[in-house]
Amino acid sequence: GENVEQHPSTLSVQEGDSAVIKCTYSDSASNYFPWYKQELGKRPQLIIDIRSNVGEKKDQRIAVTLNKTAKHFSLHITETQPEDSAVYFCAAGLTGFQKLVFGTGTRLLVSP
């Protein structure tokens, strides 16, 4: 079955810096890669996703890149702000099938 590894487990940056979180997956059939953000005490929420027919996707300060050959994908946050502090989860799955395997999460701390 699918296995998703996520690094780093914690990441501390200064406000305004960029942050990068990386994930690798094992099943070459996976074609859908979402990222969820979980603020302290809150439920996870989708922030961006990418499908395997696209190499990069951007939404304001966040972007996701996908390298199908290497089976890894990354979340990039630019100009970080304190409200970006949260746990971020990557996941992998199949479009239409909707069963996701999640990574172990990255706790991002943005200091003012």
Partner 1 sequence: DADVTQTPRNRITKTGKRIMLECSQTKGHDRMYWYRQDPGLGLRLIYYSFDVKDINKGEISDGYSVSRQAQAKFSLSLESAIPNQTALYFCATSAQKGKRDNEQFFGPGTRLTVL
Q: Which residues bind partner 1 (CB under 8 A)?
A: 1, 6, 9, 32, 34, 42-46, 49, 89, 93, 95-96, 98-105
In the complex, minimum distance from the CB of residue 49 to partner 1, in angstroms, rounded to a whole number: 7
In the complex, minimum distance from the CB of residue 79 to partner 1, in angstroms, rounded to a whole number: 25
Phi/psi class of residue 96: alpha, beta or left (left: φ > 0; alpha: ψ in -120 to 50)?
Answer: left
For partner 1, the closer CB: 36 or 77 = 36
For partner 1, the closer CB: 9 or 18 = 9
For partner 1, the closer CB: 80 or 88 = 88
